[in-house]
Amino acid sequence: RSQTMMKPTFHVFLLAIMMGLFLCSAALAEEVTIQSQADIDGQLMQDVTGLITLVNSSSIIFKVGEDSGSSYSSRGFVSFDLPTTPDDMIVDDVVLRVYQSAVSASSPYTDLYSDAQTNSTIIVDHLAYGSGLDTSDYDLTALTENVGTLSETSTLEWKELNVKSQVVADMNALRTRSQFRLRFTPLENNGDSTTSYATFITGDGHSPPELIVTYIPPIPTLSEWGLLLLSLMLGFVFVYKTRVRI
């Protein structure tokens, strides 16, 4: 009868240990919030002749879309200093957050579209433009083009996009920054002489762009799990035999 009782007891004991390890891993998660570098984020504008202009880098806002009655196409840029990964931790998740603070009367989300679509969206390109933002970055070849959709509505709120793959790639390449470009698609300027743009807060503003990085302890390998289970089994057998002798 003792052997019959031992199996379910051991299974429950083992399950409790594994659940405990999982919960401990979640409890040990560490979240770091990084704000955009105010001196190298901002806005670049291209006019109808192709001339590109850098908007005041100390401005508290940047615009994305069609500006000054179709005279310009604007793109936004954000840059984040990458922190050192804490000892014995790995990157679990990274989220880019940018606050949309205003939208023009003629909404770019319904104005900047092609015949094949009925609305437009803001997408994000992964860049490496370095220690300063200049006019060449407007069309800079992306490390990854169109990482995903950041925004598709005029709602004034934080817009979010998961950029874990891009940030981990930056870390693995030993880059010291993660940098991104925001632009409308499918059109950035439809030439209708109507201003259509979305406004976002820069690193100089009250709600600067954020990169939220979540770290967790590394997941044990199969060999590590095997050693753990073996240790638990030996410990259980020792305790069981001790109780039987008593």
- For the stretch 72-120, pLDDT in tens is 999 999 999 998 887 788 999 999 999 999 999 989 998 887 665 668 9
Note the pLDDT tens digit of each residue in 35-47: 999 999 999 999 9
CA distance 108 to 189: 9
* CB-CB contact of 61 with 23 (8 Å): no
Token digits of residue 208: 């600067």
- Burial class from Cβ neighbours inside 10 Å (0-12, 13-18, 19+) for residue 151 reads buried
Give the global pTM.
Answer: 0.80
